[in-house]
């Protein structure tokens, strides 16, 4: 079984969405974790857009990368440039991947425009997660 870690700045939106989709697509073929270089709590809008797509991340927690230092990861995926550039070193032989997804939490506009951005980013992460599992786990 593969161990996959998704890293973001605050483990609030993008990494939480990716964790949800990676778990969904991997099934029992991988253990999926997400963490941040900081912890900001899981964003309620991320929970909502995932629920709208049939995936429940409401029980996810916001975790610091230091909590996983002893897990032998096969893959580490950074989902924002800040995490890629500022992630503290931890010993791992994991293969690293990076994709800088836009931060939907920084969306501006009315409520509908903000949710549209969350949905847009969610769908980008869904596509990436599906392809990742198909190429590296399945």
Q: Choose, from 5, 13, 83, 87, the residue flagged as catalytic.
A: 87
Six token digits for residue 59:
């029980």
122 alpha carbon, distance to own chain's centre: 10
CA angle 45, 50, 52 (to 5 degrees): 95
Q: Choose, from 6, 7, 17, 80, the residue flagged as catalytic.
A: 80
d(CA 29, CA 83): 26
95-98 and 2-8: which strand pairing? unpaired
Q: Choose, from 6, 8, 17, 22, the residue flagged as catalytic.
A: 8
Active site residue 13: no
Active-site amino acid positions: 8, 80, 87
């Amino acid at each position: 079984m593969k161990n996959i870690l998704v890293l973001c700045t605050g483990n609030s939106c993008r990494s939480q969405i990716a964790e949800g989709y990676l778990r969904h697509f991997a099934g029992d073929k991988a253990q999926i974790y997400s963490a941040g270089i900081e912890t900001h709590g899981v964003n309620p809008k991320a929970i909502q857009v995932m629920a709208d797509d049939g995936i429940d991340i409401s029980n996810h927690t916001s975790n610091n990368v230091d909590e996983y230092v002893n897990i032998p990861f096969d893959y580490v995926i950074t989902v924002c440039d800040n995490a890629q550039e500022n992630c503290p070193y931890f010993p791992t032989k994991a293969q690293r991947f990076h994709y800088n997804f836009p931060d939907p939490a920084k969306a501006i506009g009315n409520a509908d425009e903000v949710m549209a951005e969350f949905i847009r980013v969610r769908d980008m992460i869904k596509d990436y997660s599906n392809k990742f599992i198909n190429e590296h786990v399945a």
